[in-house]
Amino acid sequence: MKAVKRNQMMNWLSKHQKFVGTSEDLAHQGAASLTKTLSYFTTGGGETATLAAGTEGQIKMFSFVTTDAGSMVITVTNAGWKASGTGTITFDDIGDGCTLMYANAKWCVVGNNGGAFA
Protein backbone atom coordinates (compact mmCIF):
# COMPACT_ATOMS: atom_id res chain seq x y z
CA MET A 1 0.00 0.00 0.00
CA LYS A 2 1.39 3.37 -1.00
CA ALA A 3 1.75 5.96 1.77
CA VAL A 4 -0.05 9.26 1.16
CA LYS A 5 1.73 12.39 2.29
CA ARG A 6 -0.20 15.08 4.15
CA ASN A 7 0.28 17.69 1.41
CA GLN A 8 -0.94 15.24 -1.24
CA MET A 9 -4.09 14.64 0.78
CA MET A 10 -4.68 18.36 1.32
CA ASN A 11 -4.24 19.00 -2.42
CA TRP A 12 -6.75 16.27 -3.22
CA LEU A 13 -9.22 17.64 -0.65
CA SER A 14 -8.92 21.19 -1.95
CA LYS A 15 -9.74 19.98 -5.47
CA HIS A 16 -12.62 17.72 -4.48
CA GLN A 17 -14.16 19.51 -1.49
CA LYS A 18 -14.22 23.21 -2.22
CA PHE A 19 -15.28 24.29 1.26
CA VAL A 20 -12.63 22.58 3.44
CA GLY A 21 -11.60 24.60 6.47
CA THR A 22 -14.41 27.14 6.58
CA SER A 23 -16.85 27.63 9.45
CA GLU A 24 -19.69 29.78 10.76
CA ASP A 25 -21.43 30.50 14.05
CA LEU A 26 -24.98 29.30 13.31
CA ALA A 27 -27.54 31.71 14.75
CA HIS A 28 -30.97 30.90 16.20
CA GLN A 29 -33.50 30.66 13.34
CA GLY A 30 -30.61 30.86 10.86
CA ALA A 31 -29.98 28.98 7.66
CA ALA A 32 -26.82 26.87 7.75
CA SER A 33 -24.38 28.08 5.11
CA LEU A 34 -23.85 25.84 2.09
CA THR A 35 -20.50 27.54 1.44
CA LYS A 36 -19.03 26.74 4.88
CA THR A 37 -18.18 23.17 5.88
CA LEU A 38 -18.74 23.58 9.63
CA SER A 39 -21.64 25.23 11.42
CA TYR A 40 -21.06 25.46 15.17
CA PHE A 41 -23.52 26.83 17.69
CA THR A 42 -24.28 27.73 21.27
CA THR A 43 -27.76 27.89 22.76
CA GLY A 44 -29.46 30.34 25.07
CA GLY A 45 -32.64 28.24 25.18
CA GLY A 46 -34.50 26.13 22.64
CA GLU A 47 -33.17 27.14 19.22
CA THR A 48 -33.82 26.16 15.61
CA ALA A 49 -32.05 26.38 12.25
CA THR A 50 -32.37 24.97 8.74
CA LEU A 51 -30.19 23.19 6.18
CA ALA A 52 -31.16 23.45 2.49
CA ALA A 53 -30.39 20.93 -0.25
CA GLY A 54 -26.69 20.67 -1.06
CA THR A 55 -24.63 19.69 -4.09
CA GLU A 56 -23.48 16.19 -4.90
CA GLY A 57 -20.51 15.15 -2.73
CA GLN A 58 -20.77 18.17 -0.41
CA ILE A 59 -19.78 17.70 3.25
CA LYS A 60 -21.56 19.52 6.10
CA MET A 61 -20.67 19.31 9.79
CA PHE A 62 -22.51 20.57 12.87
CA SER A 63 -21.03 21.03 16.35
CA PHE A 64 -22.57 22.12 19.67
CA VAL A 65 -19.67 24.01 21.25
CA THR A 66 -20.65 25.90 24.42
CA THR A 67 -23.41 27.14 26.74
CA ASP A 68 -25.72 24.19 27.14
CA ALA A 69 -28.87 26.23 27.90
CA GLY A 70 -31.19 24.31 25.57
CA SER A 71 -31.40 22.21 22.43
CA MET A 72 -30.66 23.10 18.80
CA VAL A 73 -33.06 21.53 16.30
CA ILE A 74 -31.98 21.70 12.66
CA THR A 75 -34.60 21.02 9.98
CA VAL A 76 -32.91 19.34 7.02
CA THR A 77 -34.20 19.44 3.43
CA ASN A 78 -33.86 16.07 1.63
CA ALA A 79 -32.97 14.13 4.77
CA GLY A 80 -31.42 10.78 3.82
CA TRP A 81 -32.67 9.12 7.02
CA LYS A 82 -36.29 9.69 5.93
CA ALA A 83 -38.18 7.98 3.11
CA SER A 84 -38.71 11.44 1.60
CA GLY A 85 -38.90 15.10 2.54
CA THR A 86 -37.45 16.91 5.52
CA GLY A 87 -36.04 15.53 8.74
CA THR A 88 -34.62 16.99 11.92
CA ILE A 89 -31.42 16.67 13.92
CA THR A 90 -31.58 17.56 17.62
CA PHE A 91 -28.46 18.41 19.59
CA ASP A 92 -28.90 18.52 23.39
CA ASP A 93 -25.43 18.67 24.93
CA ILE A 94 -22.06 20.33 24.50
CA GLY A 95 -19.92 18.05 22.34
CA ASP A 96 -22.81 16.77 20.22
CA GLY A 97 -22.10 16.90 16.52
CA CYS A 98 -22.49 15.14 13.19
CA THR A 99 -21.10 14.96 9.67
CA LEU A 100 -23.37 14.77 6.64
CA MET A 101 -22.64 14.15 2.96
CA TYR A 102 -24.97 15.10 0.13
CA ALA A 103 -25.28 12.00 -2.04
CA ASN A 104 -27.96 10.93 -4.49
CA ALA A 105 -29.87 14.19 -3.80
CA LYS A 106 -30.08 13.57 -0.02
CA TRP A 107 -28.13 14.55 3.11
CA CYS A 108 -26.73 11.24 4.43
CA VAL A 109 -25.28 10.75 7.91
CA VAL A 110 -21.65 9.63 7.77
CA GLY A 111 -20.76 10.36 11.40
CA ASN A 112 -22.68 11.17 14.57
CA ASN A 113 -21.88 12.00 18.19
CA GLY A 114 -25.07 12.58 20.16
CA GLY A 115 -27.37 13.98 17.47
CA ALA A 116 -30.92 12.58 17.45
CA PHE A 117 -32.34 12.09 13.96
CA ALA A 118 -36.09 12.15 13.26
The pLDDT tens digits for 64-112 are 988 668 899 999 999 999 999 999 999 999 999 999 999 999 999 999 9
Give the model's pLDDT for residue 25.
Answer: 86
**Residue 8 pLDDT exceeds 60:** yes
What percentage of the chain has pLDDT greater than the value 70? 81
Residue 45 in 3-state DSSP? coil
Higher pLDDT among residues 25 and 98, named by residue:
98
Domains along the sequence of the chain with CATH:
19-117 (2.60.120)
> Could you report how far apart the first and last alpha carbons of the chain are, in Å?
40
